[in-house]
Structure 1
């Protein structure tokens, strides 16, 4: 009997997909399903089968087999049970990708407890807010973060290091997981600020089954792929799309630990001959800017990105270098993936700049303010049908005559100036075509005459002087239109980003809250904001 993994084309996806077919990819059912079993234990029969290659920013690569993770996580599950951790208890994990991280993550899930991944770069406020929100029984972390957490109330802290892992050998190396599909498995926090803690998304074990739609058609995972995702498993992309989905299919995957270094990543991609990669647009831009980008041989046949739109110049560069199309995968932590570009499908032309088309069985529309479908090339809000109701994505978009969707920015990223409606995403894309601009972000700032005007924040190795400012403004005028150029240009040393790597326009807007009348002449701001 053929499974969904046997089909690769777009037409086949539309014909054969069904919820029942998704379940055929797993051992479990509604009454008995456990993420750790599906992702690790069932693939551990071959002792030499490589599960994860951890690329460390500083240090050698770490090779972990399915058998090793299965046994270590089972021992860890017994340890947790001995500590009184029961099904439904929360256990926070604040570790970089490593043997310790995967041992802890899958050990927690085996016991029926709820794993709460936490970003290792969180400061004390961000850590405290999440700990107070989810109230874990244990926090598993390293010595540095343990010291930062010492004042937290009612949470046990356990340092997971080599000594601790060695001590686990006293426990049995098998553990029978007993969870239902509807049991909670993971709490996932989205990347918000410490002042506005986002709600934890509560995932059940069944979420792994639903996830496979994005895995098959968003990242194009198929048996035989060597898959890499550089995003942190503290976030949705790195955990679900980068870790759980490919492991559920028994693939050999790669993860990145430590401070991101594009040159280190490129070396590992070549050395280990990865064939499929899903990354944030920021990762691709950083790879493009690496001086070592052309010093390696690459083996990709599928590429995807998510999180934010990729600028057209980076898209073209990466495709030329890696010799394959880069495919969009669009969704949010709350609603999941809804638009994909079907990597690996020979009958699906990938359109530059598009978000692709709906997942099999998905219904997505661009609607106007009254909830009516917008005609082609008219911007509205993207909505998805769920349980016979339209759910807003809070993103703007449009469709073309062929049914491809295009992103037009967040609803709050639209800039209205003197009656003109402008897209921050479109202006940023144009700025990034300038050969001397490495990164760019655009927001609207108050203006006494026009209501708002465009302000650009530019990262460049060139001095941010009046000459460069005028050149940037002329460049945008020539590429877009006379009214869309940035009347203000700032040259900060870096751009604020969310922990997931997206440009944090909200923080930029917060820096501009004070209303100031703006001169109508072109502006240059030598900023370090």
Structure 2
């Protein structure tokens, strides 16, 4: 076993010396069928592995202790039945099938059913309120929506704001709870239809998923993600997660977003690897218990979740089976990275990507160079990533993260908004809108969104770098840095802090200013520091910097 593992690691390291063309040629050869015969996510992520009828795809753990083990064959059969039901209900290739589902096998059954029927799957985050759900439904105009009974009331309120009436499939609770008049029971529909639906022949560039952005920088945009998504994510999963046949992944990512549905979902399934999901509300101790009981070897989630896992693990410890972990979705700050390393003895790997681009920067597995907390070490094999200015001119030290002529990109455009997609391009460069700097060793340091950059007295200050320093203070639980208007300087740096414990706020403020001056310079030190009970966040946990910018000091 040790010999095979060593050989696999050496092969992975050798692959990183390949050219971009060689990376993608090898990725294409790992598919079950030649691209000339088409590419359908349902086949690649499920059916090809269903030939081994005992192969586990998903382990579902519930808060009450119940567990389910789903094989690829069972997923294939159930999703084929659901595809038959959708076709019988009148849905046609190209129609949208929306979902308001949390962690659970239903999200993957419905996604697979949509793809095999030639539909476009349209996931939505379960934390959205009625207005956010209605906004996405008005844009995508799905023919049908599947909803968990826990979110049926939210969907009903959203329906009142629509000018069309999609069919509703409900995942009912105990005793049929959540099923309203006119609804169809998801599991009843699956049970009463046969697995007669074939898999649609789709091209790699055909639309598979309509994934809406979180809307933190404006109205949510619908990213059109093609069936080749399983290709665009293959290098990241191979080189960051680096899962071996003996590995078992735990994913805490919600399937309403790309990271949960695709990165830790279908991209892992496409390698024939199993994953563990937990259906309850977030509970750090429950995560640790499930990982320990299932002998999980690798975990993936958001930094916000890992912060609470670290707090819980300081009391109960980490599972002894856990060899590694990875996070994405928001910046990984240095204090969290260091705290994890102390507990785990291994790095909490960082990954960067977007629904529009794919996962393109990461701390790769088995990197011989030491990790620097809060920095991304490498470009994911298969991509050319650079720093450019707003005109697309390449920069050496700091600029907008951009992809040059990506072979397989996560999205092909924005739904009903081609002008917004075109605005992201500067010739061969696709601009992410995120700022970063590169150090002398080539590591990438995330600065923040282009529109979050603080310009004060002629200096550019990235909020993330200041936040990393503030978060290292033991008296700080959370922090956000934004610009505050100043008549003399135009803007000054404002820090909004959630204190941790009973430290005097005046002492925290003085310490924070001194630390930022020492590490980044006087220009970056917060001139305004406010203390609050909680930071405004989106439903996904991202800080609403626009809300903080609009607030007056001391609010």
TM-score by length of 1: 0.88
Q: Shift of the alpha carbon at 1:503?
A: 2.4
Paired position in structure 1 for 2:210? 187
CA change 1:8–1:223 in 2 (3 A) is farther
| Inter-CA distance 77–333: structure 2 relative to 1 (3 Å threshold) | same
Q: Distance in 2 between matches of 1:5 and 1:115?
A: 35
* 1:357 aligns with one of 369, 375, 378: 378
2:415 corresponding residue in structure 1: none
Q: Is the 8 A contact 2:335 2:373 kept in 1?
A: no
Contact 2:254–2:260 (Cα < 8 Å) also in 1: yes
**1:404-431 deviations in whole A, cap 9, x for unaligned?**
3222222222222223332211110011
1:267 and 2:286 matched? no
Matched, 1:288 2:299: no
The equivalent position to 1:488 in structure 2, one of 501, 523, 528, is 528
Q: Does the Cα contact within 8 Å between 1:55 and 1:265 map onto a contact in 2?
A: no
1:223 correspondence with 2:234: no
Distance 2:279 2:432 in 1: 31
Asked whether the equivalents of residues 443 and 456 of structure 1 are also in contact (C-alpha less than 8 Å), the reply is yes
Aligned counterparts of 2:380 and 2:505: Cα–Cα separation in 1 = 47
Counterparts of 2:548 and 2:442, CA distance in 1: 34
Could you tell me how far 1:474 is from its partner in structure 2?
Answer: 4.1
Q: Given that residues 298 and 322 in structure 1 are in contact (C-alpha distance below 8 angstroms), is that contact kept between their aligned partners in structure 2?
A: no
For 1:413, which of 452, 455, 458 is the aligned residue? 452
**What is the match of residue 155 of structure 2?**
149
1:99 aligns with 2:118: no
Indicate if the aligned counterparts of 1:367 and 1:374 stay in contact, CA closer than 8 A.
yes
Q: 1:18 to 1:5 in 2, by over 3 A?
A: farther
Structure 2 stretches of 5 or more lacking a match?
Answer: 177-184, 407-426
Q: SS where residue 83 of structure 2 aligns?
A: helix
Aligned mates of 2:151, 2:301 — CA distance in 1: 27
Aligned twin of 1:522:
none
1:385 maps to which residue? 404
Partner of 1:521: none
- Following TM superposition, by how much is the alpha carbon of 1:371 offset from its aligned partner in structure 2, in angstroms? 5.0
Contact 1:365–1:382 (CA<8 Å) still a contact in 2? Answer: yes
Q: What does residue range 21-420 of structure 1 map to in structure 2 within 5 Å?
A: 21-28=26-33, 29-56=35-62, 60-150=66-156, 151=160, 152=162, 153-161=164-172, 164=185, 165-166=187-188, 168-173=190-195, 175-181=197-203, 182-192=205-215, 196-290=218-312, 293-343=315-365, 345=366, 347=368, 349-368=370-389, 372-375=393-396, 378-386=397-405, 389-420=428-459
Please report how far the alpha carbon of residue 167 of structure 1 lies from its aligned counterpart in structure 2 after TM superposition.
5.1
Which runs of 5 or more structure 1 residues have no equivalent in the other structure?
517-524
Aligned to 2:420: none
Please state which structure has a larger fraction of its residues in helix.
Answer: 2
Matched residues in 1 for 2:87 and 2:391: separation?
A: 54
Kept in 1: contact 2:79–2:110 (CA 8 A):
yes
Relative distance call for 1:297 and 1:143 in structure 2 (3 A) is: closer
1:354 CA drift (Å): 2.2
Return the offset for 1:196: 3.8
Aligned to 2:180: none
Q: Is the partner of 2:145 in helix, strand or coil?
A: strand
Measured after TM superposition, the shift of residue 37 of structure 1 is: 1.8
Contact 1:453-1:486 at 8 Å conserved across structures: yes
**What is the rounded CA distance, in whole Å, between the counterparts of 2:315 and 2:67 in structure 1?**
20
SS in 2 for 1:290: helix
Q: 1:502 to 1:33 in 2, by over 3 A?
A: same
How far is the alpha carbon of 1:166 from its aligned partner?
A: 4.5
Q: 1:60 to 1:461 in 2, by over 3 A?
A: farther
1:249/1:295 CA distance change after superposition, 3 Å? same
RMSD: 2.8
SS at match of 1:221: coil
Q: Does 1:508 align with 2:511?
A: no
Q: CA deviation at 1:121?
A: 1.4
Task: Tell whether the 8 Å contact from 1:498 to 1:504 is kept in structure 2 after alignment.
Answer: yes
Structure 1 residue 82: deviation in Å? 1.3
Distance, in Å, in 1 between the alignment partners of 2:522 and 2:248 is 47
Measured after TM superposition, the shift of residue 207 of structure 1 is 1.9
